[in-house]
């Protein structure tokens, strides 16, 4: 029995689909877009269509009124055509603003991504440099740069871009720190995606909206700062910019007040349009409907042979964990041990259950194998070996703990070691379709073409019991139920033919009927692909249903281990007996207590 897919959303009006359409449907966004389009167009074609050369003087018509001698907006104190200078000045003004924004992004964005994602010494050094830059008075630095390097708008805007980069850095760093701990980021790592791929797609995609707003604000501020510097007389008078024109207008404010109006209006409209457009574009991106038109794909019949594992090399143990210890440093210098001296092994085609109550160290043990422990955690002792490949070396790490080989793990995760989490909805990125999240590991890890990866993803969705794989493939995570999402994660876990599957309480978040379906599915896939499976659970019923051997953990230690039949029939440890006695099977249901109500025949049930 398979779980039905949630009802599809109503078709969207085609006029509302697409970022650009949503942008132009916003009145403020449309107005800002039109104004900026006019300014950009003026900057591109202005030098070609201007009626006069911008620096050609005509002293006879100096300070001429609008319309005088063919000058549409009049002339300045040197008799230069104001309209021509306004058109040509748009180009240099916009290019200068773009230069400042590009410099700020080039300096601040990569540093913010690395500091937010990796943390550590780079975060400390980058944050210190950012604080130093933010403490400097920007206008003084710009004045000093102009005095030392010359009156060049390009030099001034480059320096200004560097001074604005701390804003980009801190915004990016904060946004990345907010999402780097999300479960779907860990899921991408386990799927075998590289760090660059995770940062470039899952992380950068999340921080795009605030970056768009910040960039538009930087462009607006750059235009204002450029105009302010040139208003103070620090601009190049031979370069026609709006700031130079504004300076000219204020010099002649009493003789021809209208000279200050034209550049002032141009600067105000452009700066305001950048800010408004940034907010409108952010809204258009963030409010985009999480559906897309399904593309017809010819679904081939399931070919389970194509994804089966054949000719596996025989070895004593697929996974071996010996004397594992995990601890967390405390403020007083001590280390809190959460896993101590844990040892077990898993063979090919075998299902090992790790059972215990919450806080017993089950998940910490599983995360140690996957290399997903928090940054502050230390593997204090022990060895982990996968198919003869040491994952935890015996040498001491920089913090005194054993060194975890992230390089080897990166080569194994998503290829030979797969992971099924306990919270399906949190391990799917809400910004991408289910199909995209299944296809990307297949193209990156196995090197398949997009067409072959799509066909294989649809095949996997069919194998895990999804009746309409095409519909699920095109859906976003919020459009499917929890049971369906868990099936999707199982499909993703087995997509790259893993030798070892680690399932961390895969049925905890599901209702009872869906739990049974998922357990049946795991049993079928394990037998079909001959995988070794580590099943982390607190439910002895799940252990009895799926596992060949079981490890019982309490307070970070292994208290008992053995084959499932022996442990269930004759547990030796008191803790194991307590866990078994807590199961509901075989218990007599409690009856409802009743008590008479005075002067009434009504019975009131008490729970």
Q: Which of 552, 503, 550 is nearest to 523 (CA)?
A: 503
- Give the 3-state secondary structure of residue 30: helix
Average pLDDT value for residue range 576-589: 68
Same-domain status, 265 and 373: no
Structural domain includes residue 102: yes
Task: Quote the domain boundaries for residue 79.
Answer: 21-286
Residue scoring higher pLDDT (237 or 362): 362
Structural domain includes residue 5: no
Q: What is the pLDDT of residues 158-190, one digit of tens each?
A: 888 899 899 889 888 888 887 776 666 766 666
Same-domain status, 168 and 40: yes
The pLDDT, as a whole number, for residue 18 is 66
Q: Which of 281, 249, 225 is nearest to 93 (CA)?
A: 225
Same-domain status, 208 and 279: yes
Structural domain includes residue 338: yes
Same-domain status, 524 and 577: yes
Q: Which of 358, 365, 357, 370 is nearest to 337 (CA)?
A: 365
Cα–Cα distance for residue pair 463/472, rounded to 1 Å: 13
Same-domain status, 263 and 328: no
- Give the 3-state secondary structure of residue 277: helix
Same-domain status, 364 and 433: no
Q: What is the pLDDT of residues 505-515, one digit of tens each?
A: 877 656 666 67
Last residue of a domain, one of 383, 407, 431: 407
CATH number for the domain harbouring residue 423: 3.40.50.300
Q: What is the pLDDT of residues 15-24, one digit of tens each?
A: 334 677 777 8
Of 31-40, 224-233, 279-288, 490-499, the range with the lowest mean pLDDT is 279-288
Same-domain status, 450 and 352: no
Q: Is the pLDDT of residue 384 over 80?
A: yes
Radius of gyration of the chain (CA): 33
The pLDDT, as a whole number, for residue 59 is 81
Same-domain status, 506 and 529: yes
Q: What is the pLDDT of residues 109-164, one digit of tens each?
A: 889 888 888 888 888 899 999 888 888 888 888 888 878 887 777 888 888 889 98
Cα–Cα distance for residue pair 23/18, rounded to 1 Å: 9
The pLDDT, as a whole number, for residue 215 is 83
Q: Measure the CA dihedral 465/186/523/530, to 10°.
A: 110
Helix H or strand E segment including 386: strand 378-386
Structural domain includes residue 588: no
CATH number for the domain harbouring residue 124: 1.10.3720.10
What's the half-sphere exposure (Cβ side, CA atoms, 13 Å) at 465? Answer: 20
Same-domain status, 42 and 166: yes
Same-domain status, 242 and 204: yes
Domain count, the chain: 3
Structural domain includes residue 130: yes
pTM recorded for the entire structure? 0.54
Same-domain status, 246 and 327: no
Last residue of a domain, one of 264, 286, 308: 286
Q: Measure the CA dihedral 301/478/288/454, to 10°.
A: -20
Structural domain includes residue 361: yes
The pLDDT, as a whole number, for residue 551 is 92
Same-domain status, 259 and 205: yes
């Amino acid at each position: 029995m398979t779980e039905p897919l949630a009802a599809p959303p109503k078709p969207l009006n085609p006029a509302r689909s697409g970022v650009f359409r949503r942008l132009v449907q916003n009145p403020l966004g449309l107005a800002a877009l039109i104004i900026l389009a006019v300014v950009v167009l003026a900057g591109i074609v202005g030098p070609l269509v201007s009626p006069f050369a911008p620096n050609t003087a005509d002293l006879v018509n100096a300070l001429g009124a609008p319309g005088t001698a063919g000058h549409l907006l009049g002339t300045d104190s040197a008799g230069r055509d104001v309209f021509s200078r306004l058109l040509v000045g748009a180009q240099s003004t916009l290019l200068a603003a773009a230069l400042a924004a590009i410099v700020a992004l080039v300096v601040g964005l990569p540093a913010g991504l690395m500091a937010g994602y990796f943390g550590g010494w780079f975060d400390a050094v980058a944050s210190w440099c950012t604080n130093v830059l933010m403490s400097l008075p920007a206008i003084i630095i710009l004045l000093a740069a102009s005095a030392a390097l010359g009156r060049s708008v390009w030099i001034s805007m480059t320096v200004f871009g560097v001074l604005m980069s701390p804003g980009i850095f801190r915004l990016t760093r904060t946004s990345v720190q907010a999402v780097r701990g999300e479960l779907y980021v860990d899921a991408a790592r386990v799927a075998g995606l590289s760090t660059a791929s995770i940062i470039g797609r899952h992380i950068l995609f999340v921080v795009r909206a605030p970056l768009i707003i910040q960039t538009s604000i930087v462009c607006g501020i750059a235009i204002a700062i450029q105009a302010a510097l040139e208003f103070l007389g620090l601009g190049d008078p031979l370069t026609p910019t709006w700031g130079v024109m504004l300076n000219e207008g204020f010099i002649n404010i009493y003789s021809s007040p209208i000279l200050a109006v034209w550049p002032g209006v141009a600067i105000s409209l452009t700066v305001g349009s950048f800010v408004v457009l940034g907010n409108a574009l952010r809204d258009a991106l963030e409010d985009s409907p999480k559906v897309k038109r399904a593309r017809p794909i010819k679904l081939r019949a399931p070919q389970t042979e194509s994804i089966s594992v054949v000719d596996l090399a025989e070895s004593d143990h697929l996974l071996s964990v010996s004397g594992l210890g995990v601890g967390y440093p405390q403020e007083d210098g001590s280390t809190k041990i959460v896993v101590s001296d844990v040892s077990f092994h898993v063979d090919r085609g075998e299902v090992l259950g790790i059972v215990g109550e919450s806080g017993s160290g089950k998940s910490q043990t599983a995360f140690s194998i996957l290399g997903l422990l928090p940054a502050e955690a230390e593997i204090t002792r022990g060895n982990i070996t996968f198919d003869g490949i040491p994952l935890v070396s015996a040498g001491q790490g920089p913090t005194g703990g054993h060194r975890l080989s992230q390089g080897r793990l990166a080569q194994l995760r998503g290829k030979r070691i797969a992971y099924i989490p306990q919270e399906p909805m949190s391990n799917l990125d809400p910004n991408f379709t289910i199909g995209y999240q299944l296809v990307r590991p297949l193209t990156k890890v196995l090197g398949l073409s997009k067409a072959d990866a799509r066909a294989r993803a649809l095949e996997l969705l069919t194998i895990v019991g999804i009746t309409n794989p095409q519909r699920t493939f095109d859906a976003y995570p919020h459009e499917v139920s929890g049971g369906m999402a868990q099936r999707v994660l199982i499909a993703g876990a087995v997509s790259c033919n893993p030798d070892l599957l680690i399932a961390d309480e895969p049925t905890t978040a599901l209702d009872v009927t869906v739990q049974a379906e998922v357990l049946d599915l795991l049993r079928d896939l394990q037998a079909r692909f001959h995988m070794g499976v580590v099943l982390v659970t607190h439910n002895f019923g799940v252990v009895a249903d799926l596992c060949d051997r079981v490890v019982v953990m309490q307070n970070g230690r292994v208290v008992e281990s053995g084959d499932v039949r022996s442990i269930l029939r004759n547990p030796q440890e008191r803790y194991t007996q307590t866990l078994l006695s807590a199961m509901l099977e075989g218990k007599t249901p409690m009856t409802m207590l009743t008590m008479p109500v005075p002067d009434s025949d009504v019975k009131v049930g008490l729970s």
